[in-house]
């Protein structure tokens, strides 16, 4: 009693001394700002007094705040990468499309995907926490090196995307390559230690190679397929797309051919200076639609699809059958065959070789 309502309540967002006369007013207690009070004004009484309903809304306010925080978190989850706080794939595409769709903009630009090449090794060597620091420090360095006009996003894992508006100078591939090399950090620091970085970059031009972020990214992925250890920057072109499509179709046929044991083995003789066959080399040959596919072509596809080990198993079993027939006929001519890293690192393939040699000890002399 004997106090004014403004002596013990502070309005939120309302500086008027007569805040309590509004229909609804949000306030806090002056004695405890953590306590929220809602005032609702009723009609005048017969004696010309206001009736005010006061309700403690502290708990409700806390729930609303928690809901807002949850919504903000969900928004970040939906639109941003939580580690780097860069736009995620969807948000990145949205931002790029908004930029290139502006009627007043007559820009050209380049889209490129950057992949940190040696990341699996780094992950294994330094552990997951340090690997995350590498990603974070790389993203910070990249953002620092590009202009404010560029849009950067993290697609997934160790793949980042960047869209840069270009001037006429950078439309020349040589100049654009120099620009991209200049913004990629040579080193990042992890716990104070400098770490050399290695990248693969796939590049496509806005307008020339596509008119939407999604198309440009797709073409960057295709270009990325053809970057090499010697040339880590690769540009998209239409011939490349046709080549990849043909490779994909061929890959489907190859998978079927390997599973159905349609890859044939040829034996190429190795002849000494006297004209005598001293050994053979086993060669894989694949005939499709009446034509032979070059071994370099289908071996590369098999390697990409992880089919080399299965192909090797089939050919080794066929070799052992041939050598077993020769062994019965007392023909002691060895056969050599080639192996790639996938087979050499495959435990089950190695176990098969050991089993074959254990069953037929003479194979160790005949199979090279």
Q: What's the confidence (pLDDT) of residue 104?
A: 63
pLDDT tier for residue 76 given thresholds of 50, 70 and 90? low
Q: Which residue has the higher pLDDT, 222 or 168?
A: 222
Q: Which residue has the higher pLDDT, 96 or 118?
A: 96
316-332: average pLDDT: 94
Tell me the percentage of the chain whose pLDDT exceeds 90.
37
66-81: average pLDDT: 74
Distance, in Å, from the CA atom of 173 to the CA atom of 238, rounded to the nearest integer, reads 16
pLDDT tier for residue 341 given thresholds of 50, 70 and 90? confident
Distance, in Å, from the CA atom of 147 to the CA atom of 155, rounded to the nearest integer, reads 20
Q: Are 37 and 56 in contact (CB under 8 A)?
A: yes
Q: What is the dihedral of CA 9, 15, 18, 24, to 10 degrees?
A: -70
pLDDT of 95 over the 90 cut: yes
Q: Residues 206-242: pLDDT tens digits? A: 988 899 999 999 999 988 887 776 788 989 887 766 7
pLDDT tier for residue 74 given thresholds of 50, 70 and 90? low
Q: What's the confidence (pLDDT) of residue 248?
A: 79
Q: Are 51 and 43 in contact (CB under 8 A)?
A: yes
pLDDT of 139 over the 80 cut: yes
- What DSSP state is assigned to residue 367? B
Q: Are 283 and 268 in contact (CB under 8 A)?
A: yes
- What DSSP state is assigned to residue 153? E
Least confident of 119-123, 158-162, 236-240: 119-123
142-167: average pLDDT: 90
Q: Are 337 and 368 in contact (CB under 8 A)?
A: yes
pTM of the entire structure? 0.54
Q: What is the dihedral of CA 124, 127, 129, 133, to 10 degrees?
A: -60
Tell me the percentage of the chain whose pLDDT exceeds 70.
96
pLDDT tier for residue 73 given thresholds of 50, 70 and 90? low
pLDDT of 106 over the 70 cut: no
pLDDT of 196 over the 80 cut: yes
């Amino acid at each position: 009693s004997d106090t004014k309502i403004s002596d013990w309540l502070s309005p939120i967002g309302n500086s008027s001394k007569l805040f309590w006369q509004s229909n609804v007013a949000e306030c806090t207690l002056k004695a405890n700002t953590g306590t929220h009070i809602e005032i609702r004004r009723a009609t005048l009484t017969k004696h010309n007094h206001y009736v005010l309903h006061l309700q403690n809304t502290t708990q409700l306010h806390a729930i609303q705040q928690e809901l807002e925080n949850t919504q903000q978190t969900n928004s970040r989850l939906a639109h941003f990468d939580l580690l780097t706080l860069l736009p995620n794939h969807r948000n990145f595409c949205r931002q790029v499309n908004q930029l290139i769709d502006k009627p007043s903009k007559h820009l050209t630009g380049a889209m490129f995907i950057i992949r940190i090449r040696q990341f699996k090794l780094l992950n294994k060597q330094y552990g997951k926490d340090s690997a995350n620091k590498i990603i974070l420090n790389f993203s910070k360095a990249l953002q620092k090196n590009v202009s404010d006009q560029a849009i950067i996003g993290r697609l997934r894992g160790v793949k980042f995307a960047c869209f840069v508006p270009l001037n006429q100078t950078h439309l020349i591939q040589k100049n654009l390559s120099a620009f991209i090399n200049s913004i990629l950090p040579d080193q990042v620091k992890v716990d104070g230690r400098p770490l050399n970085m290695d990248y693969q970059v796939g590049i496509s031009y806005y307008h020339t190679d596509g008119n939407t972020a999604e198309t440009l990214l797709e073409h960057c992925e295709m270009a990325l397929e053809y970057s090499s250890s010697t040339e880590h920057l690769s540009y998209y072109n239409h011939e490349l797309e046709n080549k990849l499509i043909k490779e994909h179709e061929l890959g489907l046929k190859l998978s079927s051919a390997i599973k159905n044991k349609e890859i044939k083995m040829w034996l190429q003789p190795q002849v000494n200076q006297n004209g005598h066959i001293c050994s053979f080399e086993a060669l894989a040959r694949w005939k499709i639609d009446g034509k032979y596919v070059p071994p370099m072509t289908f071996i590369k596809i098999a390697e990409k699809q992880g089919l080399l080990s299965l192909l090797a198993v089939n050919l080794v079993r066929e070799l052992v059958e041939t050598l077993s027939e020769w062994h019965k006929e007392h023909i002691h001519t060895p056969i050599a065959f080639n192996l790639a890293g996938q087979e050499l690192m495959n435990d089950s393939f190695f176990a098969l070789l050991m089993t074959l040699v254990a069953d037929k000890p003479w194979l160790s002399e005949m199979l090279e």
